Chains A and B, each alone.
Chain A
């Protein structure tokens, strides 16, 4: 697949994000939010296995509370996921773990990329993984999940300007990293 075709696909996806309609039960909430939460968690914890564990904890916690008691489901789920990730990262410092391959740790599904694009996707995933965690988080939320800077600010407890500047900084670093590798 040519880069231009990837860009066309991106245009079609622009604005696509988790539906904000209120889910009626846990199954529907899972079907609506599990994928974006999972990508977010992979970005934060840097492990697909840990991301799945954290995602399970998020939904078990939500099930315990009851969806009907949660006013804004999406922000609540992302907040809960973020707390889970932070808690998991703290615990992980105390145990040894084999690091996963950097290219597998972004929201990009390398295996789903067409053969022609796989090398490109791996380079991007590696470059993403080289970013500082706070910048990687903003990039993931904005580009992968379509969050606005205001929503990111609210989730991460930072100002909108900080979110936007982290994003710009991260994009610049990504581009420099890719150019540096290419030359």
Chain B
């Protein structure tokens, strides 16, 4: 049998009544459990993150070096050796690469030339430059 107090209750009273009754709360045990689970689940990832970042960085650097090295070898193989007389008479190569861009070469080629200039030495750099100037393609 329902409490007789509810019989004549208006909607507004019902609202106030429902607001006034004690409300449930989760058990104290749950708080401990939630925070414990959180601590356990976070720790391995938190520890692994710096090591993972370092490993990724090393891998990227290694990959970059590998690509540069392969490109250098490729360029050295493709480009014909410049005539000795030309090398002897050549000015010191400048590293201002604006002239390469003026040839309409894509930035990637410019970058390869720049890297090559540092990596394979003056002669190859010079021969590449000559080749580029001669036919505008760069090999």
Residues of A within 8 A of B (CB): 3, 6-11, 13-14, 26-27, 30-31, 34-35, 38-39, 42, 48, 51-52, 55-56, 59-60, 63-64, 107-109, 112-113, 117, 119-121, 123-124, 139, 143-144, 171-172, 174-175, 178-179, 181-183
Cβ < 8 Å to A, chain B residues 24-82: 24-27, 30-31, 33-35, 37-38, 41-42
| B2: A residues at CB distance < 8 A | 123, 178, 181-182
What is the minimal beta-carbon distance from A15 to any residue of chain B, in angstroms?
10
Among A10, A35, A113, contact of B25 (Cβ-Cβ < 8 Å): A35
Contacts A64-B41, A108-B21, A108-B24 supplied; 18 other A-B pairs, CB < 8 Å: A6-B17, A6-B20, A9-B20, A31-B31, A35-B26, A39-B24, A48-B24, A55-B30, A60-B38, A63-B41, A108-B18, A109-B22, A112-B22, A113-B22, A124-B17, A144-B19, A144-B23, A174-B14
Q: Does B41 contact A60, Cβ atoms closer than 8 Å?
A: yes
Query: With A and B bound together, what is the CA distance between A112 and B37 in angstroms?
Result: 29
The main secondary structure of chain B at its interface with chain A is: helix
Among B13, B21, B33, contact of A121 (Cβ-Cβ < 8 Å): B21
Query: With A and B bound together, what is the CA distance between A48 and B26 in angstroms?
Result: 9
Query: With A and B bound together, what is the CA distance between A9 and B5 in angstroms?
Result: 17
Query: With A and B bound together, what is the CA distance between A64 and B45 in angstroms?
Result: 10
Q: Does B24 contact A42, Cβ atoms closer than 8 Å?
A: yes
What is the minimal beta-carbon distance from B25 to any residue of chain A, in angstroms?
4
| B16: A residues at CB distance < 8 A | 6-7, 10-11
Query: With A and B bound together, what is the CA distance between A143 and B103 in angstroms?
Result: 75
Among B3, B27, B31, B41, contact of A123 (Cβ-Cβ < 8 Å): B3
Q: Which residue of A lies closest to B3 (CB)?
A: A120
Does B133 interact with chain A (Cβ within 8 Å)? no
| B10: A residues at CB distance < 8 A | 175
Question: Number of A-B pairs whose CB atoms are under 8 Å?
Answer: 133
Query: With A and B bound together, what is the CA distance between A64 and B37 in angstroms?
Result: 11
What is the minimal beta-carbon distance from B100 to any residue of chain A, in angstroms?
45
| A64: B residues at CB distance < 8 A | 41-42
Query: With A and B bound together, what is the CA distance between A174 and B21 in angstroms?
Result: 16
Q: Does A183 contact B26, Cβ atoms closer than 8 Å?
A: no
Does B15 interact with chain A (Cβ within 8 Å)? yes
Among A13, A26, A120, contact of B38 (Cβ-Cβ < 8 Å): A26
Q: Which residue of B lies closest to A181 (CB)?
A: B2
Q: Does A108 contact B31, Cβ atoms closer than 8 Å?
A: no
Q: Does A182 contact B42, Cβ atoms closer than 8 Å?
A: no
Q: Does B37 contact A60, Cβ atoms closer than 8 Å?
A: yes
Q: Does A7 contact B20, Cβ atoms closer than 8 Å?
A: yes
Q: Which residue of B lies closest to A145 (CB)?
A: B23
Q: Which residue of A lies closest to B30 (CB)?
A: A52
Q: Does A38 contact B26, Cβ atoms closer than 8 Å?
A: yes
What is the minimal beta-carbon distance from B15 to any residue of chain A, in angstroms?
6
Q: Which residue of B lies closest to A31 (CB)?
A: B31
Does B11 interact with chain A (Cβ within 8 Å)? yes
